Amino acid sequence: MSFGAILNDFSTSVVTALSSVTRISENGIKRILVPTDFSEYSDMALQLAIDLARQQNAKIILMHVLRSGDAHEELEMMQRQIARFPDLKDIEITPEIRKGKIYKEILAAESDDNADLIILSRHHRADSLLSLFPGITAKVRRAARSSVLVVGA
């Protein structure tokens, strides 16, 4: 069985499991928030979001939080990340860049964008923002009003 088939089976199981035990509305998943730090683990989270969006006819908000600096370079990196997924003609992905504390901006985006699901990548790479601030995942999981799916190492 190919990796794509395994991931597709997994994403179908995730939707079924999430719908039965979490805060996903009876209308299903309509908006998926995917915070990115442009790592391979963020790519895994985005791939899962794409598969779920295709199944649920949902939109994806791909967001990055700047601690400082100019958003232009990060927007280009976001466009390159999206370009790594060639079959997106039926999936709407909206890039979003915010500035501030990472977990607060993720929660603000969840509210502002009315997200039904947040897919976070979790990993231990030293160059990842999510590993530099390990409490981010826990804070988002505790405070989010929507379901949170954590993927990665």
- pLDDT for the residue 24: 56
Q: What percent of the chain has pLDDT over 90?
A: 54
Mean pLDDT, residues 2-18:
51
Non-local (6+) Cβ contacts of 34 within 8 A are 42, 45, 46, 49, 60, 61, 62, 63, 118, 119
The answer, yes or no, to whether residue 152 has pLDDT greater than 80, is: no
List residues bridging with 56 in a β-sheet.
none
- pLDDT-based confidence at 134, cuts 50/70/90? low
Domain residue spans of the chain: 3-9+29-151
Decide if domain 3-9+29-151 falls under CATH 3.20.20.70. no
- pLDDT-based confidence at 153, cuts 50/70/90? low
Mean pLDDT, residues 43-50:
94
**42 in Cβ contact with 81 (< 8 Å):** yes
